[in-house]
Structure 1
Amino acid sequence: MMRRSGLLLCACAIGLAGPVTTARGQDAPGVPPAPAPFAPAPGAQGAARPPLRVPLPPASPVRRGLDTDALKADVRGSAEFQKRIAAELDAAKGDRAKLNTLLLETADRSRAVELQLIDVEGRIGALDLSAAQLSASLAKRRDVLAEVLAALLRMGRNPPPALLMRPDDALDAVRSAILLGALLPELRVEAETLAADLSDLVRVRGELTAARESLGQLRTALDQDKKRLAALVGERQRRQAEAHPLPQGEKAQVDSVAKTSTDVHDLVTRMESEAPPAARAADAARAAPSPSAAAKSDLAALQNPARIAPAVPFIEAKGLLPLPVAGVRVRDFGAPDDVGAAAKGLSIATRAGAQVTAPADGWVVYAGPFRSYGQLLIINAGDGYHILMAGMEKITVDLGQFVLAGEPVGIMGGLARMSPAAAGAAPVGGAPIGGLPLGTASGQPQLYVEFRKDGNSIDPAPWWAATDSRKVRG
């Protein structure tokens, strides 16, 4: 009776566990073994199935040589761009205020684009790292992924049938069911984890594609702004040379003073007393309004691009000055350097070729190479204040020239160029630029900015505009 009644069991997921075997290691009678994936069909006597052939779409014709249409479009676009620049220069002909307005607007727009580039490049670096980590994680679990996919595939191809077992095979069947019951939850967890990782990888790659498209557009805009700035700066310096030519004798005197000065303080003192162009600039700075003669609330002069003297005394410009370059600070004023001494200025890591602007209105009392500082620019802001900037590859203003706050004065190089005060600066915060770590090892150019009052270094932090101060300090 017991033998005839038998025990009806359901072997769940036969495709996953394979055929149910008895304790003697033989297949259960009446239970056909599950065919392995891609096995020969019964009766084929081991002959391999013909390979699956998927029709491929017709290959698109390969273009050989240059894309003449694209080249012609680029040439037309470049010609139109040059015409627009020429029209802008012609409109500003003989109008100093118009030329200064174009310079300030283009420099400000270029700086904003550089800040966006820094953000996008940093985001691309983070996304690249995330994609690499996800890919590495999936590669390490390649075997698990293959097992999970194979199991799911077999379960889909071989639905679990209800099988009638003999009583003497009941124990093996129960053991198989228990094993499957323990494996299926783990299989589900692995499948969900892998699906989540694959979904994250697809999302990251999509964000990378969008970020790279944005990067290309920003670089195109920045390239156009650089070309426009180069044309405007060239016109400005041409007018400066016509209005205030520097005699050869005075230039030789300036070079002699620079070569024989022992330090920056000595350089400034001697330039403003021995070099005629710098002396004239110092005289103009001393004639500028003093703090007591100016009203703090009268800032309308800052909107006048034709001014030839500081709009407000330097001491009254606290909280108003723009940063001279778009970048990330690597060392603040007073921070210890490699030998334990306090930094006398602020160091900012920038993108290669970044545009440098004047932090404040003032007169150029030195512009050129000086000892280990490299290219050094010194601006007399009046009332005993001087602004030093070093680390540029090229200075685009001349000795004795009056510059406005935000006006282009130099260009950063492609390699790390730092003053001794900024040399060896290690990262102290902020995001990387272009996906690279900040500091001397990364090769990022760095601009060194120092404020001085009567020859003594002072903290520039109170002078920066609120938004720029937050950017510098992270």
Structure 2
Amino acid sequence: MNRPAIPILCLAIVLTAAMAVALPETRAARTPLLLEPAEAEAQLARAARESRRADIRAARLTREAEVATEAASRTAREAAALAARIQQAEADIEVARARYSLTRAERAALTARLAEKQEPTARLAAALQTASRRPLALSALQPGSLKEVVYVRAVLDSAVPQIRARTAGLRAELDRGRALEAEAGRTLAEVRAGEQALRERRTQLAALENRQRIASRAARGAASREAERALALGEEARDLDGLVARLGEVAALRRELAALSGPVPRPADLAADLAADLAGVRPAASGPLPAPSVPTPVTSTRPPPGLQLPVDGRTLIGFGAKRDSGIASTGLVLAPADGAQVVAPAGGRIAFAGPYRGFGRIVIIEHEGGWASLVTGLARVDAVVGDSVIGGSPIGVASGREDPVSFELRRDGEPVNPLQYLR
């Protein structure tokens, strides 16, 4: 009668010992900030989507750079492709961090379940151990009949399959815990690899931008004067809307001047015309006078081609949403990662770049057809007033989640919802 209790004892002791062993902890040094499961799920989906889009942009810009014939166009596309690869690396890091948070949350839930089952299992193991060590002859001397002892042993024998089934499930959960810990370790390794790739790509972009600055240093005289005029407009404007309006007026005047017809061509026989004027006789015109050129409309209902968000991040405030001040938002407020790459939303011309009171460092880009985009909250501005940029060109870096980036899209000075025009 003692023999059937031995498997029960072994199962219970093995189970208790297995549950008593703490699952190995991943090293805490430089571990990512843990997110709530719901937030981690949302970040995982968003970052994975942004990574795919950045990969597509980088591949397209790389192909365009390979077929570009002009050096300036090729360099601009190479810089934009590198910026897209930087944004892809940033998104991949966010994906790994979200996966790490989900893994740790699942492991914490598993640990809690095991803790709940550990106490009753320990009590059962102690009872079985006591029963297995008591000889049957000694049990016969205890109060009560031998029939009761035999009955108890029979009940214990019938419980063996149930105990085995339960211990099999718990052992599977312990295996799952070890698998989760290994997955967390792999995810941390992915974060480290992503950070290394991000540093390398930022170094490459800095070197390329340095070559661009050296190549265009000779043409910086007119650009510096234009930057000074833009800063003067910034000091005169009362607020950001006023600055955008003044820059829009300057841009409209520049487009109208560019659309004017050129100078009147010189006559073929200037001496004959002068003699005719002195004699008071004008020769008959050989043909109808050319019609005066009419400037084409400078506004368009079509948005800038290839419009994209300037930075990747969670949307804090949407277009039209109420701010804390009660005023409706005229753009999007995004929460990027620390030092995230900021790019031009579309191709155009840098109208303003630098600090502006109350908004940190900002960049205003003029697009064709009377459109303009405004990006605020930058930690560093890499754009120069007067430069022509393509969509995706690097224009600066973000401060981080504590200082979000705002993005506005305007048509003829009026804010519009950029989400309606994103590609």
1:404 corresponds to: 390
2:167 corresponds to: 191
2:416 corresponds to 1:464: no
2:320 partner amino acid: G
2:102 corresponds to: 126
Match of 1:173 among 130, 133, 149: 149
Tell me if the contact between 1:14 and 1:159 (Cα under 8 Å) persists in the aligned partners: no
- Separation in structure 1 between the aligned mates of residue 185 and residue 75 of structure 2, nearest angstrom: 39
Tell me if the contact between 2:139 and 2:146 (Cα under 8 Å) persists in the aligned partners: no
- Aligned pairs, how many? 325
Give the superposed CA RMSD: 3.9
- Alpha-carbon distance change, 254 to 339 in structure 1, aligned in 2, over 3 angstroms: closer
2:304 corresponds to 1:333: no
Tell me if the contact between 2:317 and 2:334 (Cα under 8 Å) persists in the aligned partners: yes
- Alpha-carbon distance change, 246 to 127 in structure 1, aligned in 2, over 3 angstroms: farther
- Separation in structure 2 between the aligned mates of residue 315 and residue 454 of structure 1, nearest angstrom: 10
Displacement after TM superposition at 1:257 (Å): 2.6
Tell me if the contact between 1:358 and 1:406 (Cα under 8 Å) persists in the aligned partners: yes
1:114 corresponds to: 90
- Separation in structure 2 between the aligned mates of residue 342 and residue 315 of structure 1, nearest angstrom: 23
Q: TM-score, normalised by structure 2?
A: 0.65
2:405 corresponds to: 447
1:23 corresponds to: none
2:220 corresponds to: 244
Tell me if the contact between 1:355 and 1:410 (Cα under 8 Å) persists in the aligned partners: yes
Displacement after TM superposition at 1:246 (Å): 5.0
Displacement after TM superposition at 1:341 (Å): 3.7
2:377 corresponds to: 391
The structure that is helix-richer by fraction is 2
2:245 corresponds to: 269
* Structure 1 unaligned residues grouped into runs of 5+: 1-9, 19-36, 38-91, 274-278, 289-312, 418-445, 466-474
1:55 corresponds to: none
2:332 corresponds to 1:361: no
1:283 corresponds to: 254
- Separation in structure 1 between the aligned mates of residue 153 and residue 130 of structure 2, nearest angstrom: 17
Tell me if the contact between 2:304 and 2:371 (Cα under 8 Å) persists in the aligned partners: no
Tell me if the contact between 2:82 and 2:201 (Cα under 8 Å) persists in the aligned partners: yes
Displacement after TM superposition at 1:115 (Å): 1.7
1:427 corresponds to: none
- Alpha-carbon distance change, 240 to 230 in structure 1, aligned in 2, over 3 angstroms: same
Residues 308-355 of structure 1, C-alpha deviation per residue, up to 9 Å, x if partnerless? xxxxx9754578323222223233212333344432111222111111
Displacement after TM superposition at 1:201 (Å): 0.8
- Alpha-carbon distance change, 399 to 248 in structure 1, aligned in 2, over 3 angstroms: closer
1:342 corresponds to: 328
Q: TM-score, normalised by structure 1?
A: 0.59
Tell me if the contact between 2:355 and 2:362 (Cα under 8 Å) persists in the aligned partners: yes
Displacement after TM superposition at 1:390 (Å): 0.9
Displacement after TM superposition at 1:236 (Å): 2.3
Displacement after TM superposition at 1:172 (Å): 2.4
Identity over aligned pairs, percent: 26
1:459 partner amino acid: N
Residues 153-202 of structure 1, C-alpha deviation per residue, up to 9 Å, x if partnerless? 899x9899999979x83332244236526865664464244223212211
Residues 188-235 of structure 1, C-alpha deviation per residue, up to 9 Å, x if partnerless? 464244223212211211211221222222221111111011111222
Per the alignment, in what secondary structure is the counterpart of residue 198 of structure 2? Answer: helix
1:259 partner amino acid: E
